[in-house]
Amino acid sequence: MLFLLGIPKTFYEDVKRAVAKALPGDFVAGLPFDGQGRPSISYFEDCFDTLVAFHNGRPQCFQKGLAVIALQFFGGGDFSSAAEAFFPFALFKAVDHKARLASTGKQMLRDKNELVRIVLAEAKRAVKLKNKVTTYLHSKANRTPLLLPIEHFGGDELRQMLAGASNGLQTADDPNILFETVERLFEAQHPFHKKKTATGFFVNANSVEFRSPGRDLHGVTHANSGDHNHLCFLNGSLRIGGQIKTGFHYDCCQKDGKPHGGTFIGCHAHPLRRQGKPHLNVYSNDYIR
């Protein structure tokens, strides 16, 4: 799926229609923006609402991942730091149009055609890239550390690896090479362990084993009740632009064999008490069941 940001209402429908026509194998949605400077928090919250509502109507839209493309132009929105709002679930790219956009006359038509050109060029690249990220995450799910839950695993190394992967995707043509590089740096501190009698696992600084599920995929990304928000769903469905397999999780237990439990930060930054018997199921978005 492609999600378009920063395009004024005057141009939005024409640009979206042109991108959708050129990329018929993907879904295209977005949210127009007529402001100046950095968008407000409420704008991004509206983006998350729109994404989830679109998915609810078309559940297959995330099957090949999600790329977010933000347009920047003279006198328009500043999306230079907007990647943080979509981290770590989306592949994010800001594209620049250096001139001010006309609102009437022939120059408006020329500006529209130029917006279609630059947004479509980035959209074609983003589609190929997010598809490759999804393929990588699906094929390497039981081995890659890219799917580890950020809060539950803890430590700076995981955040640094994901930030390096996300930033690297801005210019990478082959995400496999990028991912193997950032994974190698992470695994210098947290090596992958493999035993003959079990699936492989990573171990965090608190000696908690994060065991890959193998083919035992089950559960959901968050409960249907309580105070979960749209980010709970998005972070449980996607990682750096690629789709996470439904039901993927880690069986977390203490390295010494004792039951794993305590007070943890869950998928919406709300402390909760959980006790494993002996392990806990922890999902990539930090949802625990």
Q: Which residue has the tokens 């250096």?
A: 98
pLDDT of residue 255: 82
As given in the structure block, the two tokens for residue 117 are: 């050109």
pLDDT in tens, 277-289: 878 999 999 999 8
- For residue 230, which phi and psi values (nearest 5 degrees)? -65, -30
pTM of the model: 0.93
**pLDDT score at 276:** 75
Structure tokens at 44: 């991004």
Are 54 and 29 a contacting pair, CB within 8 Å? Answer: yes
Query: Is the CB of residue 186 less than 8 Å from the CB of residue 159?
Result: no
Residue 208: name the closest of 241, 256, 263 by CA: 256
- Give which of 146, 123, 170 is closest to 28, Cα–Cα: 123
CB distance 166 to 215 below 8 Å: no
The fold of 2-138 is Rossmann fold (3.40.50)
Q: What is the pLDDT of residues 76-88, one digit of tens each?
A: 889 988 999 999 9
Q: Structural domain boundaries of the chain?
A: 2-138, 145-282
Grouped pLDDT means (10 residues each) for the chain, 289 residues: 95 96 96 92 96 95 97 88 95 89 89 93 96 97 96 93 95 93 96 80 93 73 70 95 94 83 83 81 92
The burial of 59, by beta-carbon neighbours within 10 Å (0-12 exposed, 13-18 middle, 19 or more buried), is given as exposed
